[in-house]
Amino acid sequence: MPHPDGRRIEHFQGDDELSDYEVRLRKKMGERFSGNSLDKRVGGIMSSRHNYNNRMQFDLSEVKEPVVQRKYHWNVEKINDQEYRATPA
pLDDT digits (tens, 9 = 90+) for 34-70: 999 999 999 899 888 888 887 888 777 777 776 777 7
Question: What ranges do the domains of the chain cover?
Answer: 6-63
Q: What is the value of pTM for the model shown? A: 0.52
Distance between CA atoms of residues 86 and 75, nearest Å: 6
Let me know: does 46 contact 62? Beta carbons within 8 Å. no
- Give 15 or 65, the one with higher predicted confidence: 65
If pLDDT is split at 50, 70 and 90, which confidence band does 1 have?
A: very low
